[in-house]
Amino acid sequence: MRMWKNIKSLFIIEEDVPEASTDGPVAPSPVARVVENPSVSQSKGKVTEQFTEVLLRAMSEQDIEGFDYLEFKKSLNSLRQMEMDEATRYQSAFAMAQTMGANPARLVETAQHYIEVLKNERAKFGEALANQQKLQVEDKEQEIRQIDESIKAKAAQIQQLQQDIEARQKESEALKTQIKEAMDKLMATQSDFAASFEALAGQIIQDVENMKQFLKK
């Protein structure tokens, strides 16, 4: 099994990709065109050392014995500094690979093997990401829905209480009006009684005074 760091040296991996220079030669493609490329996310991300190491370790753990795509990749890299076009570089590397019993079908097959390894890692990552999404997003969204329902219920209770308060306030005002009307009626009755009393009693009192004055023993 190859060390993952040895595999890393076979690929051009840059965490921060600078703008392509128009002065120097164009860097060769790090992956053979005959290999199916894995699909990528629509969101724009960046290459990180952490995830690159995870993927390379997986490739290292699933390393194929004998001369495979990675050995061919090593031969390609050894020719990178030589002045030759892409086709010549691949053909020259394959000439060396043939001495080790390699053939195009075997190289493509083993390259596809590593693509499948990477896809498996992507699937595991997707599952882990989904679990984290459930913990960090979906569960909290459910909690938000519960809070919103609680707020809605309490708002309805508040509205009902407000309506009850307004109704009781109207009842209170009605009772106050009734009390005032009753008091006004009682006071009027009291005044009428007092006036009637004064009128009648006044006459009697006057008669008493007159009798004391005018009637002698």
Query: What pLDDT was estimated at residue 2?
Result: 54
Cα separations (Å) of 44 from 8, 47, 128, 134? 23, 10, 20, 23
Distances (CA, A) of 112 to 93, 99, 106, 168: 18, 22, 10, 80
The reported pLDDT for the residue numbered 30 is: 40
Amino acid 4: pLDDT? 53
Q: Which residue has the tokens 């006057």?
A: 206
| Rounded CA separation 3/7 (Å) | 7
What's residue 16's pLDDT?
52
Please list, in sequence order, all residues whose beta carbon lies within 8 angstroms of the beta carbon of residue 73, skipping any fewer than 6 positions away.
Answer: 10, 11
Domain ranges in the chain are: 4-16+27-142
Q: What is the pLDDT of residue 160?
A: 96
pLDDT averaged over 10-residue windows placed end to end, the chain, 217 residues: 64 57 42 39 77 89 87 88 90 90 92 95 93 86 94 96 96 97 96 95 93 85
How far is Cα 10 from Cα 75, in angstroms, rounded to an integer? Answer: 9
